[in-house]
Amino acid sequence: MATITNPRARALLIDITRCIGCGACAQACKEKQGFPEAEEKELSATAYTVLLDKGDDRYVRRLCMHCEDPSCASACPVSAFEKTALGPVTYDASKCLGCRYCMVACPFGVPKYEWTKAIPSVRKCDMCADRLAEGKPTACTEACPAEATQTGTREELLAEAHRRIRENPGAYHPKVYGEDEVGGTSVLFLSPVPFEQLGFAKVGTTPLPNLTWAALEKIPGVVSVGGGTLLGIWWITKRRQDVAAAEAKGAPDPRREEGGRR
Amino acid sequence: MTTPRVERFRPGFWGIVLGHLLVAGALVALFRFTRGLGAVTNLSDEWPWGLWVGFDVLCGVGLAAGGFAITTAVYVFGLKRLKPIVRPAILTSFLGYLLVVVGLLFDLGRPWNIWHPLVMWNPRSVMFEVSWCVMLYLTVLALEFSGIVFERLGWTRALVIQKMATVPLVIAGALLSTLHQSSLGSFYLIVPGKLHPLWYTPLLPVMFFLSALAVGLAMVIVESRLSARAFGRSLEMPVLVDVGRALLVALGVYGAVRLLDLARLGVLAETVSASREAAFFQLEFGMGVLLPMVLLSLPAVRRNARRLYAAALLAVVGFVVNRLNVSITGLEGSQGGHYVPAVPEVIVTLMLVGIGFALFGLAVRYLPVYGPPAEEPEPVPAAEARLVAAAVRT
């Protein structure tokens, strides 16, 4: 199920060289979601984005990457996750049965759970899908005083990212994280140093759902070949028994007195 | 209708243990469903799956693989000698899968939505496929098990109809089992970056299938021994010797494929490194595959009920270690930390195991599990009627 990139699809570009570490993005997000205001060090059910201090005046945002081909959406047995045409990967709690395979599957460790609720949901950034639908940028984008986080179409942001690298090669590591990672994501990062140094996951460029699909797509073959084989073996076994029974009863063949019976 | 034995209810040691587990389990359930999973488990955002998935589901389903292995051997491959173990194997699988579902009701965040995969589809999801297979296979097992109940009740007509469906049911069961036993391994195909290379392989589904096949056979031996001790009902030794031989072959195939795959992926050296993962691999593979293979290759072991039981038990424990390695040990490196189940998690798991034993015991006592089908398999109504009549008279 290759995703056809929608030209209207929104994306985020986060430029670590521009970030001043004020944390307004995380704050604005909490405000928008109505979460209690407490600084958190890792994503949680009440923190859809956090800003991590990596030293040397470098700050890295953590948030859902909004993959083009999301592992969570492929993992979910009831399609509670959806990669929407507008870019965000959204979650519908009313479908969810709480198996938490999405959390296991996500290569970025993004989906979090409401462990202390009797009726729990998976919680994660939805890229302000409601705001995007109204043509507005995400809350974090709007709050950023340094234009370190920007909202736009994926194409224009990618072009912009490469322009920055080209025009200022000394300031940037020459790669856009998210351009090819797990087949591409809707959140893109620019960094002054190699991404591993800032704790970014090394995830390869294959969309991870391809790995499970490689097994699932064999099911029709297994069922037809396996079913056919079992039926064939059963038929042969039965035929042999019938013949043996008939011989034992009616026409005894002196040369073949024992035919597979105990 | 007569009951074979009417006894005054007098709980023994295990009965008392089970009673305590049931009370404790009910308390855990109370907290779990009012205060959330976090109140009773050590599950967290880093460890979304713990003992209930690793043991109750992954091991539960695997240990219940005997049903399809034995029914296929008897009804498809015509190994009539194994007929006496068909019913115990079906019973184990049926109870096993029922308990897996009960375990899921504890583990799922919103268990009341467990039926959603029926109407909300996602064919790309391994979990979706497993849900369907388990639902369908549970139905198959219920139908297979119904024959035992019909016979006990003397419902001859129902029994005849049930018997006519045997072969289609067995073949459907074999296919469904092949699919979901392997798919439990496919769960982890999507986490190449998280699962340690000693366990991550594109062949995970094949590994899960082959090891489930082996452990299904091992469980038949283990159960027979336990039934012999508890109820004085067991299988004839020649049958067990055959199962032991089959177990040796199954372990051999699994072990060979596993080692060849590790070599192919270039991680054979990892197995003897000084890491925590390597130690757990050695435990799983040395104790659970190689040692039982060595033991089972000795005729002195295969032909002795107690030694055969010990070898099979090793294979079962090794299997459990393998599933926990895939679901927990193998993820510790990437998750940075350890998961140890909380006491309430262990209580629920023990309670489920206890319920399984108790139901098995009740079934053996009140249903013709280890008995009648020593007669010939022909579904002749008259013969059945006579049989049932005889059973009712006694």
Q: What is the pLDDT along chain A (262 residues), one digit of tens a residue?
A: 444 556 778 999 999 999 999 999 999 999 999 999 888 899 999 999 999 999 999 999 999 999 999 999 999 999 999 999 999 999 999 999 999 999 999 999 999 999 999 999 999 999 999 999 999 999 999 999 999 999 999 999 999 999 999 999 999 999 999 999 999 999 999 999 999 999 999 999 999 999 999 999 999 999 999 999 999 999 999 999 999 999 888 765 555 544 444 4
Return the H-helix or E-strand segment holding A223: helix A219-249
Same domain, A76 and A120: yes
Residues of B in contact with A238 (CB under 8 A): 78
Whether residue A4 lies inside any domain: the answer is: no
Same domain, A224 and A186: no
CB A41 within 8 A of CB A52: yes
Six token digits for residue B45: 């955002």
How many domains are contained in chain B?
1
Neighbours of B279 (CB within 10 A): 12
Q: The dihedral of CA A201, A206, A208, A211: what is its sign? A: negative
Same domain, A18 and A109: yes
Six token digits for residue A159: 């072009």
CB A89 within 8 A of CB A54: no
Backbone φ and ψ of B212, nearest 5°: -65, -40
Give the closest of B35, B116, B123 to A116, CB-based. B35
Domain assignment of residue A196, given as a range: 10-206
Nearest C-alpha in A relative to B328: A104
Q: Tell me the Cα Rg of chain A.
A: 28
Nearest C-alpha in A relative to B120: A78
Whether residue A3 lies inside any domain: the answer is: no
Domain assignment of residue B196, given as a range: 50-393
Same domain, A160 and A229: no
Q: Could you tell me if A252 lies within 8 Å of chain B, comparing CB atoms? A: no
Contact B171 A116 (CB under 8 A): no
3-class SS of residue A113:
strand
3-class SS of residue B46:
coil
Nearest C-alpha in A relative to B46: A109
Residues of B in contact with A97 (CB under 8 A): 108-111, 113-114, 116-117
Six token digits for residue A202: 């090394």
In angstroms, the CA B262 to CA B285 distance is: 12
Give B131: exposed, middle or buried? Use CB within 10 Å, 0-12, 13-18, 19+. buried
Same domain, A235 and A160: no
CB A215 within 8 A of CB B186: yes
Q: The dihedral of CA B226, B228, B234, B235: what is its sign? A: positive
CB A67 within 8 A of CB A84: no
Q: Identify the pLDDT of residue A259.
A: 46
Same domain, A80 and A129: yes
Neighbours of A236 (CB within 10 A): 13
Whether residue B72 lies inside any domain: the answer is: yes
Contact A78 B187 (CB under 8 A): no
Whether residue B43 lies inside any domain: the answer is: no
Q: Identify the pLDDT of residue B378.
A: 43
Which residues does A187 contact at the CB level (< 8 Å), separation at least 6?
A: A11, A12, A14, A63, A64, A65, A66, A127, A178
Whether residue B5 lies inside any domain: the answer is: no
Whether residue B34 lies inside any domain: the answer is: no
Same domain, A147 and A240: no
Which residues does B298 contact at the CB level (< 8 Å), separation at least 6?
A: none
Contact A120 B110 (CB under 8 A): yes
Nearest C-alpha in B relative to A104: B48
Is this model's pTM higher than 0.95 or not? no
Same domain, A122 and A243: no
Pairs from B30-39 (Cβ < 8 Å, separation ≥ 24): B31/B344, B32/B106, B32/B344, B33/A118, B34/A118, B35/A116, B35/A118, B36/A114, B36/A115, B36/A116, B36/A117, B36/A118, B36/A120, B37/A113, B37/A115, B37/A120, B37/B107, B37/B109, B38/A115, B38/A116, B39/A116
Helix axes B166-186, B204-231, angle to 10 degrees: 120
Q: Which residues of chain B have pLDDT under 70?
A: 1-10, 233-235, 371-394
Whether residue B32 lies inside any domain: the answer is: no
* HEC readout, B291-338: HHHHHHCCHHHHCCHHHHHHHHHHHHHHHHHHHHHHHHHHHHHHHCCC
Residues of B in contact with A80 (CB under 8 A): 120
CATH number (domain holding residue A101):
3.30.70.20
Closest approach of chain A CAs to the CA of B143, in angstroms? 19
Q: Could you tell me if A235 lies within 8 Å of chain B, comparing CB atoms? A: no
Q: Identify the pLDDT of residue B264.
A: 97
Same domain, A19 and A112: yes
Closest approach of chain A CAs to the CA of B311, in angstroms? 28
Same domain, A145 and A230: no
Give the closest of B81, B178, B179 to A262, CB-based. B81
